[in-house]
Copies of this chain bind each other. A is one copy, B any other.
Amino acid sequence: MIASASTTDVSHNPRTAESVGGVQHTTPTAVEAILQAAQFAAAELAASSPFDRQRWLNAVAATLLCHSDELALLADEETALGLPRLRGEIAGAAKSAQFYASVAVDGHYLNASTEIVNDTTTLARWNVPIGPIAIFGASNFPFGFGVCGHDVASALAAGCPVVVKAHPAHPRLSVRMAQLTRDALDSAGAPAGVYDLVVGFEAGLQLVDSPVIMAVAFTGSQGGGMALRDRAAARGVPVFAEMGTVNPVFVTATAITAFNPTETIAAGFVESFTMGAGQFCTKPGLIFAPAGSGMFAAITDIVAQVAPAPLLTAGIAASFDAGVAELAHATGSLAHATGSLAHATGSPAPAEARRDSLSAARVFAVTLDDLQPGSRLLEECFGPVALVCEYTDSAAAVNALGRLQNSLAASVFTGGPCDVEANEVVSQLLTKVGRVAVNAWPTGVANTWSQQHGGPWPATSRPDATSVGAGALSRFVRPVAIQNAAPAMLPGALAPENPWSMPRRVNGILTVPTS
């Protein structure tokens, strides 16, 4: 491994492409000290009660809300995602911290179970925290998947120390937010070492390679996620990577009605795929609509009104330009494809999708035949671009869904509860994605008990896991069992009097406290 020549993450304003300061990389010695502190904290954190962890996480939530204006301004300067969106994301992160704490207190994630014979616990089973977690935040959600987002809050709630690798797209925000988080945890009485931040690519690798780190959580590109997974595999360390995907939308043959007019679907699609300048991992990148619906025309009309927007980094903007050119080539080079594009500036050349610091939204028409395995059209292009496929043969279109790469999410627009085809499409999609939104868009993920934000490989490196929703804690625990345990060896969840008031299974019978 060759050390990076750079020793600083430089902060850029995406609107001006100007540098607005920078942050020093964490030295190897400092990273090691942080890891040792995390390891030292692991046992105390594992032994803490969920009620203590709830207090700590509620303090983090309060700090986020208290500093919302400051953090939103700092984030906007580094991401250009706009103050309203960023303030909303901060409020969401605060609610998430509280939610994951409530999931820990509920206790179901411990999956506690005992067998008792003559008042003696012959066998007891529950989940224990696995230890320090390395968390790699995302460029596109500085609060949702950042320095104190879903991964951090769910890992702490599960009882694991966390070490965050700052995303280079918002280094100054990362440092400030980490400082606030650490201070909030300290003030609330969390053990020293349960939370820290490192900066720099090499520091991130040091985390992945350290025997202290027991799991890695990552949100971002396929390339980044797979590289982390491969690197951690040698040590047997799980990498929970949720990556950007195409997230198809299917409009059934009978969906276009007064309830679901073409114009409404077209407007919703454009809003969804250009939201945050198309920088969502759940962005809908491809829509199937019946021929004759006028969907492509309606979408191009609306896209023409979308103002160009700055992308998060120069690198993302360059990848977007290259991706748009590849998509144009993939549609243009096929006999039955009609390459089309529409954007705000009126310029027709695909490679000119970006103008200075701004990128225009783009849309391409494709045919069912274009969507063959291996085609570039089946891969994500991060940014405000999407494909429209108008189909004549409904069965062939449903069949084409089976050829798509697996995704995090999908949408289906239906003719209502009696639309039998919709049921078939949902069944097909459930084999390809983790979440199906019916008459709704895949962007916008509620953080609740029933949420699932992970899809089959390669959308997610661990399709059994989720980074959003109550299931997020389960990534960071493993089951243990004791035969003939003395009472002192059992956790609160399994103590005879059930002091933590948690659901548990006793001799095979699941019981839920009613208090």
- A→B interface (CB under 8 Å): 106, 108, 111, 113-115, 123-125, 128, 130, 230, 233, 235-238, 414, 417, 419, 422-423, 426-427, 430, 433-440, 446, 448-452, 454, 456-458, 461, 463-464, 466, 469-471, 474, 477-489, 503, 505, 507-508, 510-512
Nearest Cβ in chain B — how far from A496, in angstroms?
A: 13
> Across the interface, do B456 and A123 meet the contact criterion of CB distance under 8 Å?
no
Which of A427, A435, A488, A489 neighbours the largest number of chain B CB atoms within 10 Å of its CB? A489
Alpha-carbon gap, A433 to B481, bound state (A): 9
Copy count, this protein chain? 2
> Across the interface, do B484 and A446 meet the contact criterion of CB distance under 8 Å?
no
The 7 closest A-B pairs by CB, nearest first: A236-B457, A452-B481, A125-B450, A113-B450, A437-B483, A438-B484, A123-B450
* CB-CB nearest in chain B for A46: B431
> Across the interface, do A486 and B452 meet the contact criterion of CB distance under 8 Å?
no
Nearest Cβ in chain B — how far from A443, in angstroms?
A: 12
Alpha-carbon gap, A128 to B114, bound state (A): 27
Which of A417, A434, A436, A479 neighbours the largest number of chain B CB atoms within 10 Å of its CB? A479
> Across the interface, do A437 and B484 meet the contact criterion of CB distance under 8 Å?
yes
> Across the interface, do B451 and A123 meet the contact criterion of CB distance under 8 Å?
yes
Q: Which residues from B are CB-within-8-Å of A452?
A: 125, 479-481
Q: A417-B487, A510-B512 are in contact. List 14 more A-B contacts (CB 8 A).
A: A113-B450, A113-B470, A128-B430, A236-B458, A417-B486, A427-B489, A434-B481, A449-B505, A449-B508, A450-B505, A451-B481, A452-B479, A464-B477, A471-B479
> Across the interface, do A478 and B463 meet the contact criterion of CB distance under 8 Å?
yes
- Candidates B114, B115, B423, B478; contact of A489 at CB < 8 Å: B423
> Across the interface, do A450 and B115 meet the contact criterion of CB distance under 8 Å?
yes
Q: Which residues from B are CB-within-8-Å of A108?
A: 505, 510
Alpha-carbon gap, A419 to B503, bound state (A): 30
Alpha-carbon gap, A236 to B463, bound state (A): 9
Alpha-carbon gap, A73 to B47, bound state (A): 51
> Across the interface, do B449 and A481 meet the contact criterion of CB distance under 8 Å?
no
Q: Which residues from B are CB-within-8-Å of A449?
A: 113, 115, 125, 505, 507-508
Q: Which residues from B are CB-within-8-Å of A438?
A: 482-486, 489
Q: Which residues from B are CB-within-8-Å of A456?
A: 130, 478
Alpha-carbon gap, A503 to B509, bound state (A): 11
Nearest Cβ in chain B — how far from A242, in angstroms?
A: 13
Nearest Cβ in chain B — how far from A216, in angstroms?
A: 14
